[in-house]
Structure 1
Amino acid sequence: MTSDAAHQPGRSQQDVFSEPEQAADRQRMRLAHTTAASSLSVRPSGAEVWGWQGRTLSRRAGAAGWLRLVCAPEAKRGGRLWEGTALADTALPRSVPRPRLHGVRDWIAGGLAYRAELTEYIALPAVTTGSPVLDRDVQLPDSWWADLRSALATLASVPTDRESVRQQWIDRNFRRFLGIDPLRITALTTGHADLHWANLTAPALVLFDWENWGRLPVGYDAGLLHAYSLSVPGTAARIRHEFADILDTPDGRAGELVALAQLLQACNKGVHPRLAPLIAGRAEHLTNAPVPRPAP
């Protein structure tokens, strides 16, 4: 899909984006990746890139490909995350900059389901590597921001019945993570659902990781990217400026709160400990109410 350095998924302090702890699982995933490469007639090369808790394994494949392998228990195969990349390739306009999909292979072995996706190799670097969190002022040009706005506006026009964020999650979790009553979300749009700095390239814009795209609250994508930028006030201010027409509306603030609540859920599991107080502070600014702090 991209270069080895560019497409490292985000890592927490607990290194949840890493190879599996068990040697047998590492060997199994590597063997399955090799099997997929053979089936798709490509040769893997370069560094391994492991996903969330070793669920995925990716490597460069051939001269122009990126081979990603995902594994799940057989009973949990299929569904939104499993099919997202393939559906994005057919449903989204080509004007949304993303890697093109070249081939897919599915199989089951030993009670586990595997999906291999061969996508276009993108040589452009991601804005951040190793973490979705911005840790420096990147000074992106005006044209880059215009392209991001255009891509998200085009994506918003795509009809889909995929649900990236459900009202049921909001109803269960808003009081726990935000300390407020759940909001009833009425303004929905089609979005990326994982808009962070390791999924965006520069100086030209490409969006990676279309696993979870679908219907979500207006303001969610911009709010999520803003949250991942809170440790760099200049960039955070630029996002608020570029997306003021969304974030400065009641619907946009509601969508941003959903993004903040989901990040606070992750922070409660130990992810992004340095960002957690900034996310909580942003939520308190929007709600004028104290936010339960993640356990240290």
Structure 2
Amino acid sequence: MSLLIPSLPDLDSHWSRVAHHLGARPDTATPYPGSGGHTRSGPVTTADGEPGWLRIWCAPRSEGAVWEGPALAAHLFDERVPRPALLAEAAWDGEDDDRWAVQAHLYERLPSPPLSPEPVLLQAPDLPEQWWADLAEAVAAIRGVPAHPERTVVDQGYVHRVPDILPEFAAEDLTVRHWETAHGDLHWANLTAAPLRIIDWEGWGAAPAGFDAALLHAYALPVPDLARRVWAEFAGLLDTPSGRLAQLAVAAEVVQAAEHDDTHARLEPFVRRHLGTLL
């Protein structure tokens, strides 16, 4: 018996229409597709003549943590967390049978591109000391926001299931005793260099303390100099019981994802090598 999967709405058309609805002019004929085909994004010029970036995505329901993430982040995180300003948003039901809901966010355009087109870097970027200081301040500011009761990046249940993925840690006490707010997807495709901006705020929420540092370190492992710099910058978070559990949770996520995409498959051997230092 086959399952009928609803076809995705025509996001290219939606993207152009919502740009005009928000008073913006598309600067490209065709927006860029995201992974999985559920998103479109591209450059626009706002009604004020400023460069903007319009992103839309579709989901089965117009609710939930991911749906509410960007607007809530814009409200809760202050200027110590550098990110593109959210200028406007819109949401509407999908096409005829309402099987999809579509959401749009209009941001100011980034002054520089992300450090990498994918989460893993292939070589160490030339980043000034001030960039690292700004990143450390941003991570501290994110951690300082009280955990939101309805937002979770990683929960205790997932951490307890780590041995299902990494059986060498089955004898460990995996109880997380320190939880904090995390961006949740702090990798090199979500950071810019000149100046620092942190993008992609859909999935932020509670995680074991040190989770953002652990994720950034994991995605730096193929470049040893960069991994050492990340560790040196965030050793106070990583070299703790909660930071160790955060590293295990990140490693488990990478190993799981390696079964489905090439990026994580390439990263997995480096992560497994790092796990040897945690045993």
- What TM-score, normalized to structure 2? 0.88
Q: Is the deviation greater in 268-277 or in 146-155? A: 268-277
The aligned residue for residue 54 of structure 1 is 37
SS in 2 for 1:260: helix
Q: Which residue of 2 aligns with 1:103?
A: 88
Partner amino acid for 2:201? W
Unaligned runs of 5+ in 1: 1-23, 289-296
Answering whether residue 48 of structure 2 is matched by residue 66 of structure 1, we say no
CA contact (8 A) 1:187 1:218 kept: yes
Question: Following TM superposition, by how much is the alpha carbon of 1:78 offset from its aligned partner in structure 2, in angstroms?
Answer: 1.2
- Kept after mapping to 2: 8 A contact 1:178/1:283: no
In structure 1, the residue matched to 2:3 is none
Q: Secondary structure at the match of 1:33?
A: helix
Aligned partner of 1:119 among 107, 124, 127:
107
Q: 1:284, CA displacement in angstroms?
A: 2.9
Q: Which residue of 2 aligns with 1:279?
A: 271
Q: Matched residues in 2 for 1:196 and 1:157: separation? A: 20
**C-alpha contact (below 8 Å) 2:215/2:250 kept by paired residues:** yes
Is 1:178 aligned with 2:166? Answer: yes
Q: CA deviation at 1:194?
A: 0.4
Q: CA deviation at 1:170?
A: 2.3
The 3-state SS of whatever aligns with 1:185 is coil
DSSP-derived class of the 1:283 partner: helix
- Structure 2 alignment gaps of length 5 or more: 1-6
Deviations 1:120-177 (A, max 9, x none): 1112121112x11010011312111110000111111112222121122223x31222
Contact 1:193–1:214 (8 Å) recurs in 2 = yes
Q: Which amino acid aligns with 1:202?
A: A
Whether the 8 Å contact between 2:183 and 2:205 is mirrored in structure 1 is yes
Q: Does the Cα contact within 8 Å between 2:254 and 2:267 map onto a contact in 1?
A: no
2: distance between equivalents of 1:203 and 1:41?
A: 28
- Please give the root-mean-square deviation of Cα atoms over the aligned residues, in Å: 1.7
3-state DSSP class of the match of 2:252?
helix
Tell me the amino acid that sits aligned with residue 260 of structure 1. A
2:12 to 27, 30, 55: 30
Mapped pair 1:78 → 2:63: yes
Inter-partner Cα distance in structure 2 for 1:48 and 1:235: 33
Letter in 1 for 2:155: R
> What is the letter of the counterpart of residue 42 of structure 1?
A
Aligned equivalents of 2:32, 2:216: Cα separation in 1:
23
Asked whether the 8 Å contact 1:65–1:118 carries over to 2, the reply is: yes
**1:93 aligns to 2:84 (yes or no):** no
Partner of 1:18: none
- The 8 Å contact of residues 111 and 194 in structure 2, kept in 1 or not, is answered as no
Indicate whether 1:259 and 2:242 are aligned: no
Aligned to 2:141: 154
TM-score with structure 1 length normalisation? 0.83
Question: Among residues 124, 127, 130, which one is paired with 1:140 in the alignment?
Answer: 127
Q: Alignment partner of 1:234: what SS?
A: helix
Out of 174-183 and 50-59, give the one that drifted further. 174-183
For the residues of structure 2 that align with 1:203 and 1:42, how far apart are their CA atoms? Answer: 25
